Amino acid sequence: MKDIIVNDTERNETGTALPTIDHWLEDARWAGNGERVGDVFDPARGEVAARVRLASSDDVDTVVRAARRAHAGWRETSLSKRSAVLFAFREALMRRADELAAVISAQHGKVRSDAAGELQRGIEVVEFACGIPTMLTGAHSEGASTHVDVTTIRHSVGVTVGITPFNFPAMVPLWMCPVAIACGNSFILKPSERDPGAAMILAECWAEAGLPTGVFSVLHGDAVVVNALLTHSAVDAVSFVGSTPIARHVYETASVTGMRVQALGGAKNHMIVLPDADMEAAADAAVSAGYGSAGERCMAISVVVAVDPVGDELVEAIAERSSSIVVGPGSDDASEMGPLVTAAHRDRVRGYVDAAEADGATLVIDGRTLEVAGSPDGYWMGPTLIDDVTTNMSVYTDEVFGPVLCVVRVPDYEAAVELVNTNPYGNGVAIFTRDGGAARRFSVEVEAGMVGVNVAIPVPVAYHSFGGWGESLFGDTHIYGPEGVAFYTRNKVVTTRWADPSTRGPDLGFPTHT
């Protein structure tokens, strides 16, 4: 993390030097004028590992105005030059992939392989954005009327903002900024203050790629920064990924000012297992999708819906696999699952398990008391499997965001679909079956934005778009892909007439398309 160290004069309880992470403004680290700082933890060791500066409202204004100035020049940059910058940015990310994965693992806690996978999914969006010239071609109608041509042109929106969550400190910013910048906008990243290191490396990569000064900025902070961005008159669009309550706040606050808003909220992703499914494959998928990244994924499977009579067999298969998961520091190649991001979050997740037990659910595997040798103070929570969960339990109704997998048993397919469709979230859902007819019917009937058939985590590829329904999305457009391009551009329709000089003369009649 030497690249993001500003000073090392402060030390934590164990005597380790604490770097201070600055903002990024006009191709340089910038301290800003804010006086507050926040703690960045090492989740595996359970100690403060760095400080991060928290911006003030004045800092927000400084960065937004710089982004506005930068946009004026970047919007005029040719598509070929923009594309060249995107290609160079991809190469910079590839060169620094190991460094990025290490920073993500150290500050978030996820294992290195998961951090590397997150970065790869982000790079796929960069590769999509490299083809921006073909996506901004617009449309042209020659001879729409006599001597009249009509052309639709895509213009950049202006100053755009990305407010991103702690669980994917590289991937989610990369779902936003490459598309926004490729479309000719300037972009301000407000990453999670819990793991801000990756954002600074992204900034350095943009600079290495030759992006003009001021087009990409990073502001660290909390609600003070978020609200200042949402209400700033010079911000034109905001993208957000996080919890549903905050997504709703972002949408309601920003949209009334006239900003474009895409706010992706929380999820309660169900995985339905029909009696004809391959039980071994279904159990593998449930464990991978439920416990990967310690369950801190918006697309994690948190509810397995077992359609009678598969419940007992499925629970046994999941339990067998869950018991062998190796939990440890993300820096250890033997680890399959790391810690949770903070002690407060770990305690919150444990609280949901406490409540489920008190409500009468069956704890098949209890990860609350997990200890990891050599890291007694880490924010550990082992894989937890809860059977006999009902829809009135908080572990079912709330987004737990941890390594907790619930099993709900239903009598038939119809009950399974009704369970999914009555849930207020509509992010992702999966069905496991060998029956093509059932799979097709499910794809039509289920009310969710992303559907997997024998795919537990149906995150779309970069040239499609990501987003849910219901309380998982506030706004009209999904993120990245074609809908991302639509969000970061606005259409202008130009109607031109070049009449034959011999026909010139005033005509007071109503214009007609003849």
Catalytic residues: 298
- Concatenated DSSP letters of 174-197: HHHHHHHHHTT-EEEEE--TTS-H
- What SS3 state is found at 475? coil
Other Cβ atoms closer than 10 A to 470? 18
Bridge pairing between strands 159-163 and 186-190: parallel
Contact criterion met (CB below 8 Å) for 254 and 162: no
DSSP state of 27: T
Other Cβ atoms closer than 10 A to 422? 9
Quickly tell me which residue has 């097709």 as its tokens: 440
- Say which residues have a Cβ less than 8 Å from residue 80's Cβ, sequence separation at least 6: 133
Q: Is the dihedral of CA 45, 51, 52, 56 positive or negative?
A: positive
Packing angle between helix 97-108 and helix 197-208, nearest 10 degrees? 160
Contact criterion met (CB below 8 Å) for 196 and 165: no
Contact criterion met (CB below 8 Å) for 137 and 100: no
CA–CA separation, 270 and 274 (whole Å): 13
Give the Å distances, CA to CA, from 359 to 305, 350, 402.
19, 14, 19
CA–CA separation, 116 and 120 (whole Å): 6
Quickly tell me which residue has 């003009």 as its tokens: 212
CA–CA separation, 221 and 196 (whole Å): 10
Return the closest-CA partner of residue 65 out of 200, 156, 159, 178.
159
Bridge pairing between strands 428-432 and 139-145: unpaired
Packing angle between helix 112-130 and helix 79-95, nearest 10 degrees? 170
- Say which residues have a Cβ less than 8 Å from residue 78's Cβ, sequence separation at least 6: none
